[in-house]
Each structure stands twice: as C-alpha cells, then as structure tokens.
Chain A
Amino acid sequence: MNAPAAENVIEVRNLRNQFGAQVVHDHLDLDVRRGEIMGVVGGSGSGKSVLLRSIIGLNRPAAGSVKLLGVEMTTASDAQRAQIEQRCGVLFQNGALFSSLSVADNVMVPMREHFRMPAALMQRFADLKIALAGLPTNAGAKYPSELSGGMVKRAALARAIALDPDILFLDEPTAGLDPIGAAAFDQLILTLRESLGLTVFLITHDLDTLYTICDRVAVLSQKRVLVCDTLDKVERYDDPWVQEYFQGPRGRSAECAAHKAQSAHAIAPGGA
C-alpha cells in the first residue's frame, strides 16, 4: 500500500444510513484532512454517533463509500480492514473500558493481541500511555469501577492511543466532565495532536471545545453535512438551526470566552 496521495484521511461520499423506514443519513459527504481536528455537531438524533459508527465500520451503511487512509472500507478485505482498524483509536461516549481488567491491562489489550512483546516492556508502554493521557501512575492498577467520570475518559483515551493511531475518534469526550476537567481534556487532545501528529474526529455538544480546539466544524442537519468549514464561516452560515446553535446565549458566551483566551494568549505569547 502506498502513502495516500490525497490529503484526506477520511473521505465519506454519498453515505446513506437507514434503520427500517427511518433514514438517518442521505447523500452525506465529509472529508477530514490529515492532522486537523474536525468537530462534528448536530442536534440530538441527527445521527452523529451513527456517522462515527459508519466510518469506523461498526455500522454497515445502506449505500455510499467510506474511505479511511485511502482504503475503501465498505469493500476492503478482512485483513485490510483489520490493518486500518489498528490505525484508528476510538474513545466511546461512556469509555467502554473492560470492567474486568485494570486500567493498565485495558491499555495493554491491543498491544498484547497484535504484537508479541515481553510483559515488562508492555507494562512500560502502558504506563507511558496512561501518563500521556494525564492520569497519575497509580491509576494503572485501578479497575474502571474505582475511577471517577473524568478518569474513565482519560483511561479510555489511553487505550485509544495504545497503538499510536493515525486517526482518533472521540464521541463526546467532555460530556459529563466539570468545566475545569473539560478544559484540561481539550488541552490534552490538543497536546496529543501536536506531539503525536493525530487526526481527530470529534463529536461534541460542548461549544467551548468547538471554539478552543477544532480547526474545522461540520454541522450535521437534514440528513447530511449542511456545512463544513472553519468556525467563523460556519457561524455565519445562513440556516436557522446553525444560527440558533451558534448565536444562542451559550454559543455567544463560549465565543466570548474563546476570544478572551486568544487575546490573553497574544499578550503573553510565552505562556504555552
């Protein structure tokens, strides 16, 4: 396989998803470029999670094509799919940590299954991922039921980046976190993107997350991607739902906060 010539690591074309008579997506197109953080927003029930599940292959679309890292996933052989899946990390909404395994064992599952490696070395890499995800070292020995909501998300993130994926899929990563935890998580994603060169596909309801870390935003509405562009262009898009979403009281205050943070950053550029 050659390096994908196109800049797009995710290419969705004409995607159609339906459950019985209910059509969730119709003629949906979406491109995600290498190295960017793409935020996906949409009302409840607009099919954000279904889109994510279709892209990572958990949900077989009724029609259309999904290309991941240059490979057409709907027609790929099992071996090809497995290879691509290894290069994707997924953070599910509720973490989806294996409850019978400790956090370190959770992180080691993909390493153990895909590579032959001495246990001590694997433990070191697991500790590294756990630390990269911003958890204290002693968290590795804990079980998911002993963790708080924010720690579960971080542990799940540690598992998602266990194999150094090219693409990271995040399903509402900051939902249920307090504002401080959510802001820290946003920064963590930003840091990981910078240092590991990740492409991030991010579903969120959190306007602060959109304003602080997303390079581009895709709005899911009317069964397709209504608009997909940088935030300031999306904000100005002429659609009642988009206008209400970004110009509502919450949207405006998040925008305000983001501008404030940016100007503070401009005054003291040595901060980061």
Chain B
Amino acid sequence: MANTMTVETTAGTRVFKTSKYNRREALAGYLFISPWIVGFLIFTLGAMIYSLVISFTYYQLATNTARPAGLANYEALFDDPKVMMSLGNTLFYAVLAVPLEIIFALFLAMLLNNVRRGAGVFRTLYYLPKMTPAVATASVFFLLLNGNQGAINKGLAAIGIQGPQWLLDPNWVKPSIVLMTLWGVSGTMVIFLAALKTVPRDLYEVAQIDGAGPVRRFFSITLPMISGAMFFNVIVLTIAALQTFDQAYLLFYRDTGTGAPDASLFYAIYLFQQAFRQFNFGFAAAMAWLLFLIIMIISLVQVKLGNRFVYYESER
C-alpha cells in the first residue's frame, strides 16, 4: 500500500523536493562535506575495489603489473597451513582477551565509582598506561616477562609460584600479550565508569529497601543499566583483538634474525609479512578479505545477540 502511494505521487514528490531543499544551501552542504567524499572515493571505496581486483591477480610491485590469477589466491588461503594457524591463534587470543578485558575493566570502574574521595587521583593513575605508546609498553614488558630474571617471575617466586617462560613457552605467549593488554585496559574502564555514573542512585536505594543484596543489585540493576556500554566495548575490543599487531610484532617479529614461536603468529602479522616482506600483494589482499568476512560475521552475531540483551531506556 505504501508503495502504490509513492508511485502515484512521483510527480508530486518531485515538486515537493525542490521546495524542501534550498538549492544554495544544498550546494554549500555538498561543498562542506566534499573533502570526506573525495577521501571516501579514493581511500575507502576505491581502495576496497582495488583490493578486490588485486586479490584475483598476481601483483608485481616492481613492474606494477597484475597477472590474472582467478581464484588461485583464495585457494591458496586454504592450502597455506600458516593462514589457518594464524587465524586459530587470533581467534584463541580474542576469546581469551576480550572477556578478561571486560571483566577487569568493569571491576576497576566499579571500584572507582564507589569511592567518594580521591576518585579523580586514582582515575588519573589508572589511565596512565593508556597514554603509553605500544613500543614503550612492549619494551618494558619484554624485560618484565623475562622467564629467568624478569620482575614478574621474581614476584611470583616470592609467593612460592614458579613462573612460566612467558615469551618462550608456546602456551604462555598469548597470555603474555593478554597481560600487556590488561595493563592498558583503562580506555575500556573509562567507558564503563561513565556508564556507571548514569545509573540512577534511587534504583539501588529502592532495591536495598526491598532487601536485594549486593550481588542481586549488580545483576539486576547495574548490568542491565550499563548493557549499552558493555555491548559497545565487546564489539570494539573484539575487532581490535582480531587485528592485534603491535605487541606481537614488537615482541616476536621485530627481529627477523630470531625465530618466533608459531603460537605468536597472529593473522595481522602474517598478512603484514605476506604483503610487505614477501610482496605477495594478491595473496595478502585475499587474506584481508577473509579477515573482513570473519569480522563482519562476528560483529553481526554480536549485534543480533546484543539486540536481545541490551536494554535501552527509551524503549521501555
């Protein structure tokens, strides 16, 4: 019914449209957004099309020629064991890192939210790691995580725990990176803190009068009220985890002379190696599209789940 309405009034809407938009104003609007349009056409849309084209070719950087390859690059994705291995590593890391980051960030945020004096000072201190460049973090943790002499293992030894060879033992490579990520979790914490501040205090009061304990208050009030921020953090952290590059590169792949444990081969690292060390641009482009597909699927699943669980106050 709505369709027939619009068809019938096509001529009418056209007249209406010209009167709705002031021509000078529209032109000025387009002029103001033109930088973004140009950038989008070249560096986003253009780049994506270019990438898609290249993924079906053998691209030669030296001669700037692209020999058609058909689906060969995509077939190679499944033939190359390192692609699947790096994908497995990356997914494993994401599954390990994201929940820990969420829990730790929320814990810290609630800790800060409940303190009445000095919250500002602590928030500043907690935020400092976020300001530290990845190179500095990696170079310090490279030494702190040293299996024999590092401060972390010496600290563990002091309480009677034999620390692992963090950066050498394949089983502990990913937990090492998780540890570094957790140290810089304050960006996520700040979002949770802001969300916690918007939870009306009277809800807690009423719940307390009704006899709800702290655990019940957390699950029935806090969690639903901050579910929007939770949803956002999960999506952003997942996308970031799937593209982890800096820490792994600095700890294991910076020095091409030494062999790195297979457990540290992340997808973004392997993509980088294929593109900018081996110059297999066609293969790297195919890898990028596979990652894109995976990220899209995961994000879609998260959005679908999120719609079920996220509570928006305005929808009540």
- The answer to whether A and B come from one shared complex is no
